[in-house]
Chains A and B, each alone.
Chain A
Amino acid sequence: EVQLVESGGGLVQPGRSLKLSCAASGFTFSNYYMAWVRQAPTKGLEWVASITNSGGSTYYRDSVKGRFTISRDNAKSTLYLQMDSLRSEDTATYYCTRSHTIDYWGQGVMVTVSS
């Protein structure tokens, strides 16, 4: 069974940093692209970033470019999202998702940016 379990969320002040992790199991992690998708409270879905299966290429939405870094450790089957210079508009539930077609989703982790 495919499982994606996020951790690392919480309340953080504007301008500070947070690092999310996603532990994957139930599939060969190194074979799949991975992505982060977020959802602000009562809003729709917004893709944040993607990474190729080797980690050699990464892609970001413009609003997080230069502030967020997606990475992975294939030996640990873990996906990461380093979030720096956080803003109030980054407040959302962050979902770890699998593959190009975004087929599996984690349960989500809440990130609240507020003073």
Chain B
Amino acid sequence: DVVMTQTPVSLSVSLGGQVSISCRSSQSLVHNNGNTYLSWYLQKPGQSPQLLIYKVSNRFSGISDRFSGSGSGTDFTLKISRVEPDDLGVYYCGQGTQYPYTFGAGTKLELK
């Protein structure tokens, strides 16, 4: 199985600040078809997860450009700029390149 390692486990940020979350996979996430199926999700307290970024760097419908994804192969990063109160919650990376699909353990974003 592909192991997804997310760091840090938690992050404190001031409103308006910028943060980065790292996600590393134990194997390359490049699919045979050339796509890299690495996604980022945010789970706000008491809610279902929501997709933010798919295929490494593509923002999902309605997602602010304050969220950006980058990376390749086995190393990926989510950056959030100008943090707002609605950004708080747990962020997960996930891979859909090979079964079983796997997720990172999550990064909790809190206010400083």
User: Which residues on A are within 8 Å of B, measured CB to CB?
Assistant: 35, 44-47, 50, 59, 61-62, 95, 100-108
Contact = CB atoms under 8 A, between A and B. Distances in A.
Interface in B37-73: 37, 39, 41, 48-51, 54-55, 60
B89 interface: no
Given A44-B92, A44-B106, A101 B101 contact: no
Contact of B102 (A47, A106, A108): A47
A101 B96 contact: yes
Interface of B: 37, 39, 41, 48-51, 54-55, 60, 92, 94, 96, 99-106
B103 A46 contact: yes
Contacts, number: 50
A46 B4 CA distance: 12
Given A44-B106, A102-B94, A95 B48 contact: yes
A46 B103 CA distance: 7
A50 B37 contact: no
B92 A45 contact: yes
Contacts of A35: 101
Nearest to B50: A105
Contacts of A59: 99-100
A62 B92 CA distance: 22
B91 to A, nearest CB: 11
